[in-house]
Structure 1
């Protein structure tokens, strides 16, 4: 990736004004390369270089929710889908435990409650239910000896619940966890970055956010969120708790790669949530 050539393209396309350009490499994802750009007095911009499909999907998400302050403002997508550019959200990505319920409620108010309903993609040969089943299969294959056979069967059964076949469906962030949250100087939620967009049901993103850190993984915390007037979707606690159990099952394997020190807390939470969902079957 030749950043000098890309910068020249951006100047030629009028995406960047004339002036001295400063670019600093930031930490990226598995396949992405991320740069912070500043040109003269121009606001700081983020350039993310990624696989074409990922660029196209992220650009579509940012364009759809461009009016939401919590979502980075879209500026430009390369016509060849090599990279996209969006405005930098000032703040820190350090998560401080202690008020998960308040954080989730703010996430709902600023983002999840604003999700737009969409049709299930006509060209997709799998349902939302099948999508979730495949995710649990991937978790199972990577889980080693973390779970019992009964655990695996439970997760597969929950993901295969026939109620997940029908909509309505929405355009979701898809990676809506504390690792992608930006906080202002008062530790208030000010941004949600780096989507891996999905078409699915909003409870998925809420459960994902809830399970993205090992603190306060108790039923009352998330139940209070869906019973708040800000939550405009289903208040079916059985469905919610099943969604949490699936998210937790998947998160436990993810944490072994990125946050292994959280594993014990997650496994303790899994015991509780396994009891909750099995008692409600």
Structure 2
């Protein structure tokens, strides 16, 4: 179903309760097509078309956390598209300090996370998910990290404990955050992922190369109210490793800062473990 047909269907069914006076395409994700609709009553909406499975889980996420102050209000869900209220803000606008962003994200969304419903888990394994993510990242990172670094991250993943699973955003980074007047005002484009809330928190922390320090992380965590079975510094290493691969694919200009952050957190990890840091080099 193309966007023109979707708009015609919304008009025919009077889904929005007002005539549509204008619409135009917005920049979408990798697979989605997105448009902004303006109605005669002054309201604006976003229409997003994607594969039925992704649309289903996006609508589930928005309904599951309908009281979140950072998520758009779901208006209508069909098989191939969703309609939600337009949120003002922009992913490219000036961002607040990362510590403030993490505070607002935690209080406005992550602390609202709820355990998954019975029947959702199926055969999902959190540890297997992490192993797959790290293996895919390794293929991209290649020689930028040493063999010792690869062995370390594999060991950290293997040591991850069993976690209580929650419905997560799954792509909770600055590329999906809306900002206005230097403040976080919205979170968009959730994916289908079950896991611990800490994953989304660390994903957000690692999603930009600025302020990747322990003080910033601990400040954000001071507002975090969910249980966490894992080991913090090891979880940050996992988040950084995955982010390094995405950096190489999408923002290679940030690589130097992420490699510095990797060495910084690796030292913290070994310090916490009271271990001797093996000789390793960043190529």
Q: Counterpart in 1 of 2:278?
A: none
**Aligned mates of 2:235, 2:160 — CA distance in 1:** 13
For 2:176, the equivalent position in structure 1 comes to 180
Please state whether the residue corresponding to 2:23 is helix, strand or coil: strand
Secondary structure of the structure 1 residue equivalent to 2:166: strand
Q: Which residue of 1 aligns with 2:59?
A: 59
Is 1:251 aligned with 2:249? no
CA displacement, residues 170-202 of structure 1 (integer Å, 9 cap, x when unaligned) = 1111111111111122x1111111111311101
Cα separation, 1, equivalents of 2:117 and 2:5: 39
Structure 2's unaligned 5+ residue stretches are: 274-283
Return the alpha-carbon distance in structure 2 between the equivalents of residues 85 and 225 of structure 1: 32
Match of 1:70 in 2: 70
User: Which residue of the partner structure matches residue 137 of structure 1?
Assistant: 135
Consecutive unaligned residues of structure 1, counting only runs of 5 or more, are none
Asked if structure 1 preserves the Cα contact closer than 8 Å seen for 2:69 and 2:109, the reply is: no
Residues 1:232 and 1:252: Cα distance change in structure 2 (over 3 Å): same
Give 1:263's aligned residue. 255
* 3-state DSSP of counterpart to 2:143: coil
**In 1: Cα distance, 2:175 partner to 2:138 partner:** 23
Q: 1:124 to 1:157 in 2, by over 3 A?
A: farther
1:171 pairs with 2:167: yes
Using the TM superposition, name which of 10-19 and 268-277 deviates more: 10-19
Which TM-score applies when normalising by structure 2? 0.90
Shift of 1:108: 0.6
User: Structure 1 length normalisation: TM-score?
Assistant: 0.90
Change (3 A) 1:248 1:95: farther
Q: Which moved more, 1:265-274 or 1:36-45?
A: 36-45
State yes or no: 1:200 paired with 2:198: no
Q: Tell me: CA distance 1:55–1:271, structure 2 relative to 1, closer, same or farther (3 Å).
A: same
Q: RMSD of the TM alignment (CA)?
A: 1.9
> What residue in structure 2 maps to residue 99 of structure 1?
97
SS at structure 1 position matched to 2:144? coil
Secondary structure of 1:41 counterpart: coil
* Alpha-carbon offset, residue 235 of structure 1: 6.8
SS at match of 1:118: coil
| Alignment check: 8 A CA contact 1:175 1:197 kept | no
Provide the rounded CA distance (Å) in 2 between the counterparts of 1:267 and 1:176: 21
CA distance in structure 2 between the partners assigned to 1:102 and 1:251 by the alignment? 21
User: Helix, strand or coil: the match of 1:266?
Assistant: helix
Offset, 1:42: 4.1
Closer/same/farther in 2, CA of residues 46 and 98 from structure 1, 3 Å limit = closer
**Structure 1: distance between partners of 2:143 and 2:39:** 51
Deviation string, structure 1 residues 179-230 (Cα, Å, up to 9, x no partner) = 1111122x1111111111311101101100000010110112112222x2x3
Residue 274 of structure 1 is matched in structure 2 by 266
Structure 2 vs 1, CA of residues 271 and 96 (structure 1 numbering), >3 Å: closer, same or farther?
A: farther
